[in-house]
Structure 1
């Protein structure tokens, strides 16, 4: 039930990362205090998730999250950016050793300056100087994640991850409220600009006394176009230990997102058996329950292998009994037809909101579900 619990928490708090589970193996939020009695930890309900910091009875929110060059029209970019950044952090900072804290070192004001163009009035801008119609904005968004360790009765800053979201398409207007034009950016251009900015960001962070000698991970993310039905992907990251002030070593990430069914003329994954499995599932579901507006899936691949799937089903159900029957049918049909050995989430919704949710973890055979009552 842990994936179901996490979904409900995220749904209720607008994608806030939180670990919700049974209290049997959880640490009480007051069981670990820092040197100040006003600093506490949330406790850890599952080893897949970090404990987080609470100060003065409040969860510390990020100072830079949500700061963009402009409003990102593709909300999936925002979600996959944050979730993917956390997965990269887990490779370097163990959930059993480190405590997670939302970014506290890059302020909103600083993030806005870094995301801007470099000008006389904004010398800190990471995007290149030039006219909007000729020189693209590369850096679209950024996020900071902090990681602390227990040091006696206190917590100390011990690691940081910075994510840089780079545009794949630059959208611009020649005049205010005029037509929107676009400039496609090549992969070589995206990588070169991202790596250049990463070294500059690292050098700036090292000027802070608290960040001089801690490992800093910098990850590069390729934004999906505004009209994409999936979010973008991280394509490289660098672990910078000690007091290094420039990035020298990069590790590539081969990740791709696809939408099932694959649209005509669009490229699908090399292994089409996954798409066929989904197609069989979709056929079974639509034949049994005709009152469906759509059945789609977002599938993520790492190094060519399917690593996860999010299925979205839009219904026209109004009866609670219909929702219950449909959810129960999905539980058995999904187990039979969808790929095994990967985490899968299925969201059933309508114009009125989410009606039910099903989930299966990597090593599980059966789906668990929750039905949202209409009262």
Structure 2
């Protein structure tokens, strides 16, 4: 036990030292933001290990599994370490396509946002929302039952635009020179589109997905921060901070609703959700000799259905309803060696793609999609839930890239 806490403390220190080193050498930017989140999670793993809610793993905590995660983490981060968000001079794109995307995104979000917001207020109390989390497993559960026919269809559009909505919001704000009624209307629509997916998931009693969205919005903001005027930056911070506060308050209330009869305190549940991944990977997943060949991470993409956790439990012989980090989820599917090779491959492919100070909007989207994997990867692999939206965003990025390439070729003739 004494050695276990030493290993967990060492694990925290390597993430903390990495963040401090990055902060000292490049300041606080989008990449150091990721390092901060992982440092905080590793600190919570110490608190989790020393709490009464700690689940004793099948095997003792050792050093090497922590080193494996850290090496994979650093390798995955290589493209983001070459990306210096504070040094970006210009973010650009095809004005016609971007305007069309911005207007469609803003207009389609208004009705679903209002309906989702009304549902929260009309639900009566947070217990009703927390009950929805349990009801989702029922085959007759309708996540959009509170929405109109049109609102439901438009809500689906906002979910597919989940990854690009914050990018369009801050890009639009970076171009604002003077406020008028139309600019305000489009800005509100883009804000609605940015937060509607979180609001919708919040209505389902899902807290983790909502928090992941908030972290992602913070990452996108840090990319565009220096592109915004001081007045716009102040407006964005105030308005978005209010929405973030409201959503976090809702997350807290749902947590109270879900665990009010629990034997553990809310702070202990916070320790678990924020820090359990490292010890779960170390003491359980590391010693599992079985793999799931993609059933864990990609069932949502290929079948369109949520993964069957109970079936995965039986196949792996360990709990598959808990967090193992995004690296752990890949290990569960492909094993230690192939997981490292997958991470190394994508890192080498993208390592020099984001180092320019002049970046097209499609590269910003790809950067954000890549970062989204690791941003809250201290919990689980993001594409386990909503992988189809991730694939759509990649396809959208390819369309934007193709358009830019076609214009470039045309201008060179």
Query: TM-score under structure 1 normalisation?
Result: 0.23
Whichever structure has more helix as a proportion of its residues is: 2
Bigger RCO of structures 1 and 2 (CA < 8 A, at least 6 apart): 2
Query: TM-score under structure 2 normalisation?
Result: 0.21
